[in-house]
Amino acid sequence: MEYRLQTPLTKDKLKGLHAGDQVLISGEIYTARDAAHGRLKELLEAGKSLPIDLENLTVYYAGPTPAPPGTPVGSIGPTTAGRMDAYTPALLEQGMTAMIGKGARSPEVMEAIRRSGAVYFGCIGGAGALAARCIEKSELVAWEDLGSEAIRKLTVRNFPVTVLACGDENLYELGKSNYLASLRSQAESKA
Amino acid sequence: MRSLDVKEITKAVAHLSIETNRYLSPDMEQAFQKAKKQEPWPLARDTLDKIEENIQAAQDMGLAICQDTGMACVFLEIGQDVHLTGGSLQDAVNEGVRQGYTQGYLRKSVVADPIRRGNTGDNTPAVLYMDIVPGNRVKVSVAPKGFGSENMSRIAMLKPAQGQQGVEDFIFETAKLAGPNPCPPMVLGVGIGGTFERCALLAKKALLRSVDSSNSDPFYGKMEQRLLERINELGTGPAGYGGKTTALAVLIETFPTHIAGLPVAVNVSCHVTRHGSVEL
Ligand code: SF4
């Protein structure tokens, strides 16, 4: 199925999505990757306030290339989400509802996704220019010293993502098993 | 003896850093075409279309194909009849990386210390390998390497008794364990033999080969083909969303080894496998 969703991605809006659904996201999403996650965790543990509000937050695991003059952002595909796994359950508990990245998640994160009703979206790893086309604005929010790893607020329009995981569903398992099943049924119908 | 100013090497490295990050080599583009023809799964064909669309979009927008513009792996083949002048060769290479990554709006992805981190701000240092070869030319190759795929690489010191089967199983297992993480379709650079570190270097160097090439020894050429077919039965597919096209190529390089050893290394690379060379 294809959907259009506007941020903030409240759990209400995310209800009813299934692995493999195509979604065009418009609104505001925030980049954060390894180093920013490390700092968010330190602040959370110290009980200090964060530079971003986690309530209904959509995080994009990405570190762009520098923006050429006159453009909002450079190449900006997703990074491997699994490296953020250690931090994710705590952020989901604090109200984050959506993540955009690529690659497999740990059993702990899959369980936290199931429990919280959050959704893990994916876009094609390496397709940095395609993603850049959907970004209208990029503003630095925190930690400029982290360079490409700083937290940025991106204003996106019809940013194309695929549902990788929600509830009990996992596209990486489903996609593979559906394809392999199609091969088997083909072989059987030939036999 | 021919003299060559290392400034020429700086220029070549800067130029190649930008070019390789913006344009894929023709062999990669042909490999996508071929894969699409052989891909029975519509969703996977669609994903391959988007990967190709991204290559075009990067060209049109003057952007890097992928935001992970990698660590700059630089390979120099230096003719033994060349006298390099004008300063330190290593500095010249790093200056090339600095210029290329700055002028080309490429990402600075290098931290100064593996544990204490801290971005170096200009993507230096390069990972530099040098070989002295006959002749009076210098061949400069740049292969930016992204870490989504680098992180899925593996090395094993197998026992000689594990033989061909052990080697093939290890390579296959590596592709299977990588799953969706290394941005499939993958290119697998494989080293077999040598010592621990030589084996890993062979795997890295294999990734400089054209993806439509095969090992000149038919024994290994056939192994490459057999492994590619086996890996493309995994079902991982483009982006890991399912399908046949899990890998575009398996490229094997070998070296003699010790009576007690059978090292094998797999350097996993992705659908943005980049390399370019110039001869000076
Ligand atoms: S694995 Fe390759 S395609 Fe994927 S993000 Fe890294 S460099 Fe880009």
Query: Across chain A, how many H-helices and E-strands are there?
Result: 6, 8
pLDDT tens by residue, B37-61 = 999 999 999 999 999 999 999 999 9
CA distance A42 to chain B (A): 16
Alpha-carbon span B22 to A181, nearest angstrom: 38
Collect all residues of chain A within an 8 Å Cβ-Cβ radius of residue B66. 75, 77, 126-128
Cα of A135 to ligand 1 centre, how many Å?
20
Instruction: Decide if pLDDT at B251 tops 90.
Output: yes
Confidence of residue A104 (pLDDT cuts 50, 70, 90): very high
* pLDDT given for residue B1 in this prediction: 85
* DSSP helix/strand/coil, B78: strand
- Cβ of A179 within 8 Å of Cβ of B237? The answer is yes
- Residues 6 or more apart whose CB falls under 8 angstroms from that of B99 comprise B10, B14
The upper half-sphere exposure of residue A142, i.e. CA atoms within 13 Å in the direction of its Cβ, equals 16
| Confidence (pLDDT) at B219 | 98
Residue nearest to atom 7 of ligand 1 (CA): B146
Extended beta strands in chain A, E state = 2-6, 22-31, 58-60, 98-101, 119-122, 135-142, 151-166, 169-170
Question: Quick check: CB of A126 below 6 Å from ligand 1?
Answer: yes
- What's the mean pLDDT in A71-83? 95
List pLDDT tens digits, range B169-226: 999 999 999 999 999 999 999 999 999 999 999 999 999 999 999 999 999 999 999 9
Banded pLDDT at A1 (limits 50, 70, 90): confident
Which residues in chain B touch residue A174, judged by CB atoms under 8 angstroms apart?
Answer: 242
**Between chains, do A128 and B54 touch, taking CB under 8 Å as contact?**
yes
CATH architecture of A2-190: Alpha-Beta Barrel (3.20)
Give mean pLDDT, residues A33-43: 94
Determine what percent of chain B is predicted with pLDDT higher than 70. Answer: 100
Residue A191 predicted with pLDDT over 80: no
Residue nearest to atom 3 of ligand 1 (CA): A126
Q: What is the pLDDT of residues A135-162, one digit of tens each?
A: 999 999 999 999 899 999 999 999 999 9
Q: Is the pLDDT at A186 greater than 90, yes or no?
A: no
Across A182-191, B233-242, B258-267, least confident range: A182-191
Q: What average pLDDT does the segment B262-278 reach?
A: 97
What ipTM was estimated for this complex? Answer: 0.90
CB atoms inside a 10 Å sphere around CB A171: 25
Position A188 scores a pLDDT of 84
| Tens digit of each residue's pLDDT (9 = 90 or more) over B108-129 | 999 999 999 999 999 999 999 9
Residue A121 CB partners (closer than 8 Å, separation 6+): A23, A25, A98, A99, A100, A101, A161, A162, A163, A164
CB B68 within 8 A of CB B107: yes
Whether the CB of B72 is below 8 Å from some CB of chain A: the reply is no
Contact B232, B245 (CB under 8 A): yes
Q: Over pLDDT 90: what percentage of chain B? A: 99
**Is A162 in contact with A121 (CB distance < 8 Å)?**
yes
The answer to whether the CB atoms of B66 and A130 lie below 8 A apart is: no
* Tens-digit pLDDT profile for residues B74-88: 999 999 999 999 999
Distances B190 to A125, B155, B167 between C-alpha atoms, Å: 23, 10, 10
**According to the model, what pLDDT value does residue A88 have?**
95
Among B151, B272, B273, residue to substitute to test ligand 1 (most atoms within 8 Å of Cβ): B272
Q: How far does the centroid of ligand 1 lie from the alpha carbon of residue B21, in Å? A: 11
Is the pLDDT at A189 greater than 90? The verdict is: no
B143 lines ligand 1 (CB under 6 A): no
pLDDT digits (tens, 9 = 90+) for B130-152: 999 999 999 999 999 999 999 99
Q: Report pLDDT for A187.
A: 84
**Model confidence band, residue B106 (pLDDT cutoffs 50, 70, 90):** very high
DSSP class of residue A35 equals: H
Confidence at residue A190, expressed as pLDDT on a 0 to 100 scale:
78
**In a mutational test of the pocket of ligand 1, which residue from A80, A124, A130 has the highest number of ligand atoms less than 8 Å from its CB?**
A80
Q: B163 and chain A: CB distance < 8 Å anywhere?
A: no
Residues B24, B275: contact at Cβ < 8 Å? Answer: no
Average pLDDT over chain A, rounded to an integer: 94
**Which pLDDT value is given to residue B275?**
95
- Nearest to B21, CA basis, from B54, B61, B57, B67: B67
CA-CA distance, B167 to B160, in Å (whole number)? 10
Q: Which chain B residues have a beta carbon less than 8 Å from that of A175?
A: 43, 237, 240-243
Q: Which residue of A has its CA nearest to B111?
A: A146
